[in-house]
Every structure is written in C-alpha cells, then in structure tokens.
Amino acid sequence: MQRQPAVLLSSPESPGTTEAVAAKAAFENFPVALRMLPRTYRRHLMAVYVFARTADDLGDQAPAAERLRLLAELETDIRALYNSSGEPALPAVAGLKRTVVECEIPMRPFIDLIRANQQDQVVKRYETFEDLVGYCRLSANPVGRIVLYVFGSFSADRAVQSDYICTGLQLAEHWQDVAEDLRAGRIYLPLTDMASHGCSEHDLAAPHAAPLVRELMAFEVGRARSLIDTGAPLIGTLRGAARAAVAGYVAGGRAALAAIQAAGYDVLATTPRPGKTRTVMELASAFARGR
C-alpha cells in the first residue's frame, strides 16, 4: 500500500487535510480581497493556496527524514497532472486540475514551489541578500505569476512587477517569523547584513530584540517595503477582480511591515501581525491609487 504524505491524511479532522489547510488562510497574510472576489476566482485561488500550503507543510511539518521523499511524490503527482499519465493521488494536486485547465497555467511555477521546499531541507542560511532573493524566485514569485494566469492577465511585463511584489511579501513573512524560523533551525536574514549590524545568531535567540537587532530589522523592513512599492504599479494595469486581488496582496504585505514597525521591530518577543482594519485601509488605498 502506497504511503500517503504525513500531512495529507484521509480523516477530515486531520490537521493536514485539504479543508484544514484551507482554514489556515484565516491566520496568514491571506488577502482580505479574496472574500470579495467572484466565486470562480475564489475557487481557483484557494486551490492554488492549498497546493502551496501543502508543499510548505511537507517541507516543514513532515518527519525530517521523510520530507524529500514526500516532496518528490508531490512533484510526481504534478507531472502526472500535466502529462495525463494518470489521476493525481494527492488531494492538493487533484484540486488543481480544473484551475490548471481553465486558466492555462504552465507547470513550471508549481515545480518551482516544490524546489523551494526541497532547498529548505539543505539550505539553512543565506550569505547575501542576493542569495535570499534567489530563493524567493522559487518560493514566492511563482505564486504571483499563477495569480496573473488565474485572472487571464499574464504578460512578461506584469510578471516582472509581480515578482517584485511577491519577493517583498516573502521577505515580510520571513521578518515576521524570525524567532519561529530560528526554532526550526533556519535563518533567512542574510549573514552579511547581520554581520554589518553586529548581530549574531545568539542575539536572535534572545527573548527580546536588542537595539542592534531592531536596527537590522528596520533595515530589512525598508528593503521589503521598497520591493513591494516597486511592483505595486501593477495594480494600475489591472481592472475589476484582478485589481482587487493584487491590491489585496500588496495591502497584506504593507500591513505586515507596518505591524513590525509598530512593534518597535522586536520580532523576537512576539510575531507582529497586522489588524484587519489596517489591512482594509491599505487595500482601499492601493486599489484607489493603483499602486
């Protein structure tokens, strides 16, 4: 009998079922705009989210010795979906079938998301900011490109702008989760940045952020904000539901970075999360200004 991935059990009460994975959206920087979109778009975007979240769970929560095998099984299922070589065995992949066909999404972005999780198993530190951006090309940018396909809005120019936004969003998430990532054995803060700010791994393990850690985080928050702002004019090229969705992503990132700033850049004492009011305000502003 083929073993199922650890986080894709059959019981609907299991924390790794498709339903439970989808429920996690409420606790992440998932765009508030999603609730306002037409049902078809919501269904497609949720299918993408479930796949991406499942890949992350396989890379983070499955037994360490099993992760690479499980991720390889996920890739095999994706390739089966695209090659018509059989029905996908995993719910997170089977749930993509309608979305992939109707939105004409290529396979590469899904493979890249798996590659990012495979990289997480062997790379625990990033020497330079450029190295980290390279990781974001696998872990974040594919999602934005998929979203453009979902709305029938993909173009090469829009993809470039989307990449800026998604890299900034990924960095915002990393900066929120510095303490959590350290407990998992990972540091996404570039080592060269840490060294230039006089910050060590020992400093990141403290219960509260020392001034030098706060200065480092302020610097990194500024970088992430600049990337999001660079890509944000993408909003102005879109209309209707696509405009609302991308404005929602931008708003979520800006609100997350504002929450870190409001916490005095202390990302060690707690995980700074934005309130819904701030996110909605950011959404309204981004949608109206088109950036």
Provide the pLDDT confidence category of residue 36 given band limits of 50, 70 and 90.
confident
Q: What's the CA gap between 16 and 6, in Å, rounded?
A: 8
* pLDDT attached to residue 149: 98
Note the pLDDT tens digit of each residue in 85-120: 678 889 999 999 999 999 999 999 999 999 999 999
Range of the domain at 94: 18-289
CATH number of the domain to which 90 belongs: 1.10.600.10
Residue 3 lies in a domain: no
Q: What's the CA gap between 184 and 144, in Å, rounded?
A: 26
Instruction: State the greatest distance between any 2 C-alpha atoms of the chain, in Å, as a whole number.
Output: 56
Helix ranges (H only) for the chain are 18-23, 39-60, 67-83, 91-94, 97-103, 108-120, 129-139, 141-150, 156-176, 178-183, 191-196, 201-204, 211-231, 240-262, 276-289
Residue 229 lies in a domain: yes
* pLDDT attached to residue 88: 87
Single-letter residue type at 79: R
Query: How high does pLDDT run on average in the chain?
Result: 90
Name which residue leads in pLDDT, 156 or 276: 156
Q: Please give the share of the chain, as a percent, with pLDDT higher than 70.
A: 88
Residues 172-180, mean pLDDT to the nearest whole number: 97
Residue 6 lies in a domain: no
Angle at 284 between CA 282 and CA 290, to 5 degrees: 95
* pLDDT attached to residue 23: 57
Provide the pLDDT confidence category of residue 5 given band limits of 50, 70 and 90.
very low
Residues 68-75, mean pLDDT to the nearest whole number: 97
Provide the pLDDT confidence category of residue 20 given band limits of 50, 70 and 90.
low
Count: domains in the chain: 1
Residue 175 lies in a domain: yes
Residue 186 lies in a domain: yes
What is this structure's pTM?
0.89
Name which residue leads in pLDDT, 196 or 18: 196
DSSP code at position 208: S
Helix ranges (H only) for 185-275 are 191-196, 201-204, 211-231, 240-262
Note the pLDDT tens digit of each residue in 204-258: 999 999 999 999 999 999 999 999 999 999 999 999 999 999 999 999 999 999 9
Residue 117 lies in a domain: yes
Residue 2 lies in a domain: no
Residue 147 neighbours by CB distance under 10 Å: 26
Cα dihedral sign, 189-190-194-200: positive
